[in-house]
């Protein structure tokens, strides 16, 4: 009798255990195309940052695939740009957007991006210079992506772009079913946009509210860049936290119809 009861209990418990141990979208093996992109030899100088920036899980969460067209807003030094280029391959394209207002603050990065796009290895990268409040894409894209820069748009140096305008323009740039992926530094809960120009942080809740107001459907979040030791009350450039801030990653989907 005891053996029968034990067998029944095991039958009930084991599937649950297996489910709990099953790899999720962040912990499982990376798709072959993502792994190939991460392993691109041309990224040798970026490799030291991969563990900290969780590039493989980020690419997987953003559902980056060969042949896609991607619009990357304010690409900085091109860390993610180079991975996008390697994954989408020659049949895809990466459009990097430098708002004119931001470009004045990052001339060296803009120059570096022009040089990168001129290399034969990165022939699928283009640089677009546009007013911050006039975002557009040459073709409908599969993904719009920005890392640590969503919070900049409403600030004075960017012309105080209304988030409603930005999100509507992103929505219009995407194909039906396309994704809007935002990575940014976490601000205290309930702070809204109060810290965007001081601490360079933004409350994740306001980001979700703004994106959904533009018609996007919240499609998930990743915790791979979260850091519970970040107090959320210091500037992201403070040496005690720089490079290790608590960051949220939100994925929004444009409805297919």
Which tokens hold the place of 4?
Answer: 């029968």
Does residue 5 form part of some domain?
Answer: no
CB contact set of 149 (below 8 Å; sequence gap of 6+): 73, 74, 76, 102, 184
Indicate the length of the chain as a whole number.
Answer: 257
**Residue 9 covered by a domain:** no
pLDDT of residue 30: 63
Of residues 39, 29, 53, the one with CA closest to residue 249 = 53
For 121-154, how does the pLDDT look when each residue is reduced to its tens digit (9 = 90+)? 999 999 999 999 999 999 999 999 999 999 999 9
pLDDT of residue 6: 35
217 within a domain of the structure (yes/no): yes
Q: How many domains does the chain have?
A: 1
pLDDT band for position 25 (cuts 50, 70, 90): very low
Kind and range of the H or E run holding 21: helix 2-21
Tell whether 177 is covered by a domain: yes
pLDDT at position 31, please? 87
CA distance linking residue 112 with residue 170, whole number of Å = 25
- Whether this prediction's pTM lies above 0.85 is answered by yes
Q: Mean pLDDT throughout 35-39?
A: 95
The CATH number covering residue 212 comes to 3.40.50.150
| Residue 248 maps to a domain | yes
Two tokens, residue 87? 């994954």
What is the rounded CA–CA span in Å between residue 183 and residue 112?
22
pLDDT at residue 212 in the model: 98
Please, are residues 158 and 99 in contact by the beta-carbon 8 Å criterion?
Answer: yes
Inside any domain, residue 101: yes
Give me the domain span that covers residue 113: 25-253
> How confident is the model over 205-247, as pLDDT tens digits?
999 999 999 999 999 999 999 999 999 999 999 999 999 999 9
How confident is the model at residue 28, as a pLDDT?
A: 43
Sheet with 69-73, side-by-side order of all strands = 125-130, 93-99, 69-73, 141-147, 174-185, 247-253, 217-222
Tell me whether residue 216 is in a domain: yes
- Is residue 60 a part of any domain in this protein? yes
pLDDT digits (tens, 9 = 90+) for 181-196: 999 999 999 999 999 9
């Amino acid at each position: 009798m005891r053996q029968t009861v034990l067998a029944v209990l095991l039958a009930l418990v084991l599937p649950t255990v297996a489910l709990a141990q099953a790899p999720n979208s962040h912990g499982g093996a990376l798709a072959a195309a993502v792994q190939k992109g991460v392993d691109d030899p041309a990224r040798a100088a970026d490799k030291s940052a991969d563990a900290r920036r969780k590039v493989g899980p980020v690419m997987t969460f953003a559902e980056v695939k060969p042949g896609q067209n991607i619009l990357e807003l304010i690409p900085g030094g091109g860390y993610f740009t180079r991975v996008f280029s390697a994954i989408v391959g020659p049949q895809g394209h990466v459009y990097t957007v430098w708002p004119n207002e931001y470009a004045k603050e990052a001339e060296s990065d803009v120059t570096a991006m022009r040089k990168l796009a001129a290399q034969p290895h990165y022939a699928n990268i283009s640089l677009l210079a546009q007013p911050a409040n006039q975002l557009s894409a040459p073709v409908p894209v599969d993904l719009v992506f920005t890392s640590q820069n969503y919070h900049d748009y409403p600030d004075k140096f960017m012309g105080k772009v209304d988030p409603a305008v930005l999100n509507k323009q992103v929505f219009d740039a995407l194909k039906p079913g396309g994704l809007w992926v935002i990575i940014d530094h976490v601000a205290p809960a309930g702070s809204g946009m109060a810290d965007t120009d001081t601490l360079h942080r933004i409350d994740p809740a306001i980001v979700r509210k703004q994106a959904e107001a533009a018609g996007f459907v919240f499609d998930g979040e990743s915790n791979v860049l979260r850091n519970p030791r970040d107090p959320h009350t210091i500037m992201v450039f403070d040496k005690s936290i720089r490079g290790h801030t608590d960051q949220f990653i939100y994925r929004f989907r444009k409805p297919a119809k």
